Structure 1
Amino acid sequence: MLAFLPAAVLGAFWIGGQLLLILVALGLPAIYLLAGMYDALPRFANQDETDVIAASALPGKADEALEAALRRNAATACLLVEIEDMVPLVRRWGEDAAEAVRDRSLARLRGMLRDEDQAFRIGDARLAVVLAPAPRLDLEILLSLAKRVQTGLEEPIGLDHGTHYLSVAVGFCGASRLKPGAQGAVLVDCAQTALDEALANGPSAIRAWSDAMVRSRSERRGLLADVERALVSGQIQPWFQPQVCTSTGRISGVEALARWLHPERGIVPPLQFLQCLEEAGQMDKLGEVILQHSLTALRTWDQAGIDIPRVSVNFSGTELRNPQLVERVKWELDRFGLTPQRLGVEVLETVISEAPEGIVARNIRDLGDLGCHIDLDDFGTGHASITALRRFSVHRLKIDRSFVTRVDRDEDQRRMLAAVLGLAGRLGLETLAEGVESVGEHALLAQLGCDHVQGFGIARPMTSEAMVDWARSHAERIADAQWAGRQTG
């Protein structure tokens, strides 16, 4: 149209004079501009600057994307992202810091997408993406996008009070994997199923929806039916993860972790069956089973000449609310001929901070008075006061992995960890760092004065029988290292 503008203006002057010339000269470009803006509207119709929407509104967004994809003979997809560390972050730093992390994460996510794609917050820890139609969105492309999203969101986030390291799980579903005519609710539900699978196999897992996940949901219903029988038949037993003294290198204890070896499904992930046990009201029974097997293993190791000073058992909130808990523990220790000092009781910091009085507090105090070793688990993720540490006779702080991750490479992490260790030292408490995964982290923790370490960098959880072989091999390595040290010294 603009190519003919000079001719149109000249014609207007000859026909209508100067006034018509001005109207044509200004009116035609304005009409062209408005037409162009109108034509551009469909290209940006998918953009939405809304930060937060209700989860119930997401299927409607997916419906719009599916309809647009059908018109253009293109593809779309839905991705759901879970920030896995949000709950401890809120407990440790408060809601304002968590909100800042949410805002920064959403901004990062949008920066990794096209202008036409939509990204929202749909919960305190969850982000959602609905992709605008594209000619090709196959599994390979979506998996690459999911990895890029995860990597970008797991980059450290620096705020005024420190640096945050996040673990991010991603579940996604492409519309091409659904039956023709599927609605937005189906697309979102499939992405949710994939995210549930990622969370069950995390941290930092990515899963794409598949038909097999439908079977997985069916299997979970089967697990609910099997779980009580599994407790009785001995399928659920503790595996043991070593804890090592940083000054001597010797085994200072083990933590008992529940594992279910299903005769047909193999090893069932703990997050799956623990949730099933909780739904079935069997957490107290699980505690009895784990305690009995743990004390059996400790006595067996003693008989085999293996020096393992203590076994630590996690006590759930359900168990701690049992008025008969202390008497049951006494009876079990007497039955196995073990002193209370050989048993470690691990209690979450949130339990102490949220239940300062009542039966829970009384049970913790009585177990400490009995002589059991009280470990405060996940220290740093709750709000337990120094007074509470004294009142509950806590012996050792188990420092949460969020303080340990990359401590050998991050100065802020190092200063934060040093502060925690300094506090423990002034209070006369032992310290154990969990989640140690590298030689560098292990070495730096030893240098900073952390008393004990535990994590995949030391050893993964193992059966009672495998623990015997590992403990003997570890003792030989320590003896060889000491001999070599004396030779070079």
Structure 2
Amino acid sequence: MNYSRLQTDLKSLSVRPRKEDLEHLIRYTPISCVLSIVVTVIVMIATWSLVGGTVLCIWAAYTLAINGWVLMRARLGSGRVRRVTAKALIKVRVFAILMALPWATLTLLAFSLWDEQQLVRVMSSFAAVGMAAGGAFMLYRVIWSALLFLVTILGAVIIAVLFSDVPGGWSIAAFAAVYCVFLSHFAINFARLDWSRNEAVDALTSTVGELERANDRISELAYTDILTGLCNRAAFQIALNKALEGAAGTQGFALLLMDLDRFKNVNDTLGHLTGDDLLAAVGQRLVAICAEPDVVARLSGDEFAILCHTPRAEAGALMQRIVATMAEPFQINGITIHSAISVGAAFCPTDATNSERLMGLADLALREAKTEGQAQLCLYSPALGEAFEEANHLAEEVRSALRTGALAVHYQPKFRLSDGKMFGAEALVRWSHPQMGYVSPDRFLPIAAERGLIPEVTTAIFDIVLQDMVDWREAGICVGPVAINLHANDLKSPDVLLGHLERALARGFGPEHLILEITEGCFNERNPEAAIALLKQISAMGFELSLDDFGTGYAALSHLRTLPVSEIKIDRSFVAEINHSDRDHTIVAATLAIARSASLRTVVEGVETLEQLRTLQALGADFGQGYYWTRALPAAELLRRVQGMTPAPDETKETLF
């Protein structure tokens, strides 16, 4: 045994037994006790005829008693160790000595009191050595107890033979010492192997536990929305598929999609952390409204979903309860936030039986609810589906028209009311479909806006207008400034819009040739500041802005203060009854007065009668347009009118330019 191995063995002695080691000892103690009892009986039978008497009976009684007591304690105990204390270790060491004493005593008696009986000496020696080996096997995981057991027995053997008259007793003592060292080394190494194995098992168990916890965490992250603690889109999709599989033969279920109204305003004004807290609070309220086994999920952003097993007849009441609950103020970080939610719903199996279709119909209902305003709800219906399919078809036809150049531009002339002369025109998009015929802009432009096609439509209009202006210039005709209408979506693509103006400038058409018309709808989007900044940039380029449909919005006067407009257009709704409604007459008069005080030009739309014209002239309007003069005209016809090639129409309906 080299020095490093000795150091390792000595270091092993300092290892504190664990509860598993004591449980191992308790588990094998009954076997050791039974073996000890059997050996005691064999020794009694073998030696009784030689040395039988009081001493042997006392020895046997003690041995049987101590082993019987230990056996009973081991059998009655649970075999479980809660913790390893210093007191418990002392008890185990005392137990080891008590278990070793009978065999140590037997050896001492055999070499002293019964020294004349050679068989007794041999029998006691074999029994002692055998029990020492057995004790080493039993106690090796509690190493100090094993060493005490070995030293007690083999120490007695060494002492007995050294102080006896046995020839060559020193050799027997040396053998016992070597045997003691061997068994000690054996016990230590076996203990170390067990400890290493246990450490490896513990490490493996810990690693497996960590992997299981990591896997649980990964599953949680994969299927849980961390912000709200609700199901995420993936988990909701699984729940939806499972509900669809089990929907046959049941009353079905409802799929609700929800979207917070004005949520971006919360993020923009109060910060994203407050917005996140609001989303978490919304999730809690939704969970409180629903009952088992309904599934509540946050799909993305401010979009939530509920899979609820509510009959169709009761779904409307549930949706109203959701809208009402979300209308109650939220207290977030000491701030009172008023929010609202829009809800759309579709049903399985009446509306759809597959997840993609059902989600699409619920989303369609949600979009319909949001078009009605804030805090609205909508149940999917076949009529809504038909409208959606028609919108899809119309959107595809618009895309086709953009590809084939089927869109056209007609021009609605504007006239100076003081002398009746033409002063420019408004470019109006027109579409004549081969099968559908004339398609009104009021019908296809909202669909184009919804599908993100407005920038392409505006590009087509600019292309046509610029080419028509080139043709008029080559014909030596000046139509005057042409007004092009801008949609709110155009202001979301500033680079595209500014590119159109750069193209116009490159072709020789500057601010005196083009006017850009905007409506109040351009500023009802989520980021009106960006739109206003873009319009100011356009104004800085010299292009004039005209505010269309003035008076129909809720903030018309504030726009006059913030926008760089040069012209306002009074909506036709105020002109239709101007000669029959004192209120309309007063509104138009007041608007004209405001425009004059702000040095803004005025254009009145929808002038259709001579009486309307004379009233507007008396009120001081600058320009007008409408069927009193002419409908919107194709570029070629407008050119002929300007050139005077068309005879004057009936004076009761139109006048010449």
TM-score (norm 2): 0.38
Whole-angstrom distance in 2 between the partners of 1:215 and 1:352: 31
Residues paired across the two proteins, number: 268
Out of 232, 244, 256, the residue aligned to residue 427 of structure 2 is 256
Q: Is the 8 A contact 1:399 1:431 kept in 2?
A: yes
- Mapping 1:121-200, distance limit 5 Å: none
**2:533 corresponding residue in structure 1:** 362
**2:486 corresponding residue in structure 1:** 315
Whole-angstrom distance in 1 between the partners of 2:525 and 2:497: 20
1:327 aligns with 2:498: yes
Whole-angstrom distance in 1 between the partners of 2:464 and 2:647: 27
Identity of aligned residues (%): 29
Q: SS of the residue aligned with 1:358? A: helix
1:436 aligns with 2:612: no
Q: SS of the residue aligned with 1:222? A: helix
1:458 aligns with 2:629: yes
Matched residue type, 1:445: L
The superposition leaves residues 162-213 of structure 1 with CA deviations (integer Å, 9 ceiling, x where unpaired) of xxxxxxxxxxxxxxxxxxxxxxxxxxxxxxxxxxxxxxxxxxxxxxxxxxxx
Matched residue type, 2:399: E
The superposition leaves residues 394-451 of structure 1 with CA deviations (integer Å, 9 ceiling, x where unpaired) of 1001001122112123333222211111111011000001111211111211121100
The superposition leaves residues 255-301 of structure 1 with CA deviations (integer Å, 9 ceiling, x where unpaired) of 11111122333222222221332233111111111112112212222
**2:560 corresponding residue in structure 1:** 389
User: How far is 1:231 from its partner?
Assistant: 0.8
Q: Which has the higher contact order (CA 8 A, sep 6+)?
A: 1
What runs of 5+ residues in structure 1 fail to find an aligned partner?
Answer: 1-213, 481-489
Whole-angstrom distance in 2 between the partners of 1:264 and 1:317: 30
Matched residue type, 1:412: R
Whole-angstrom distance in 2 between the partners of 1:420 and 1:399: 8
Q: Is the 8 A contact 1:240 1:255 kept in 2?
A: yes
Q: Is the 8 A contact 1:376 1:396 kept in 2?
A: yes
Q: Is the 8 A contact 1:432 1:451 kept in 2?
A: yes
Change (3 A) 1:462 1:238: same
Out of 271, 283, 286, the residue aligned to residue 454 of structure 2 is 283
Q: Is the 8 A contact 1:352 1:384 kept in 2?
A: no
Whole-angstrom distance in 2 between the partners of 1:221 and 1:319: 22
Matched residue type, 1:305: G
Change (3 A) 1:277 1:348: same
The superposition leaves residues 77-96 of structure 1 with CA deviations (integer Å, 9 ceiling, x where unpaired) of xxxxxxxxxxxxxxxxxxxx
Q: SS of the residue aligned with 2:427? A: strand
Change (3 A) 1:269 1:217: farther
Out of 460, 468, 473, the residue aligned to residue 302 of structure 1 is 473
The superposition leaves residues 209-247 of structure 1 with CA deviations (integer Å, 9 ceiling, x where unpaired) of xxxxx9999765433222112112110121111111101
1:447 aligns with 2:618: yes
Q: SS of the residue aligned with 1:313? A: strand
Out of 401, 412, 416, the residue aligned to residue 230 of structure 1 is 401
Out of 393, 399, 411, the residue aligned to residue 582 of structure 2 is 411
Whole-angstrom distance in 2 between the partners of 1:292 and 1:457: 29
Q: Is the 8 A contact 1:323 1:359 kept in 2?
A: no
User: How far is 1:385 from its partner?
Assistant: 5.7
Whole-angstrom distance in 2 between the partners of 1:232 and 1:465: 23
- Mapping 1:11-50, distance limit 5 Å: none
Q: Is the 8 A contact 1:432 1:453 kept in 2?
A: yes
**1:293 corresponding residue in structure 2:** 464
Whole-angstrom distance in 1 between the partners of 2:642 and 2:503: 25
**2:551 corresponding residue in structure 1:** 380
Matched residue type, 1:331: E
Q: Is the 8 A contact 1:439 1:457 kept in 2?
A: yes
Out of 503, 508, 522, the residue aligned to residue 351 of structure 1 is 522
Q: Is the 8 A contact 1:399 1:434 kept in 2?
A: yes
Q: Is the 8 A contact 1:240 1:463 kept in 2?
A: yes
Bigger radius of gyration = 2
TM-score (norm 1): 0.50
Whole-angstrom distance in 1 between the partners of 2:524 and 2:396: 35
**2:638 corresponding residue in structure 1:** 467
Whole-angstrom distance in 2 between the partners of 1:463 and 1:217: 32
Matched residue type, 2:414: Q
Change (3 A) 1:271 1:331: same
Q: Is the 8 A contact 1:245 1:251 kept in 2?
A: yes
Matched residue type, 1:441: Q
**1:484 corresponding residue in structure 2:** none
Aligned-pair RMSD on alpha carbons? 3.0
Whole-angstrom distance in 1 between the partners of 2:493 and 2:391: 28
Q: SS of the residue aligned with 1:300? A: helix
**1:266 corresponding residue in structure 2:** 437
Change (3 A) 1:220 1:325: closer
Change (3 A) 1:390 1:219: closer
User: How far is 1:340 from its partner?
Assistant: 2.2
Higher helix share: 2
Whole-angstrom distance in 1 between the partners of 2:526 and 2:617: 33
Whole-angstrom distance in 2 between the partners of 1:425 and 1:356: 30
Whole-angstrom distance in 1 between the partners of 2:610 and 2:625: 12
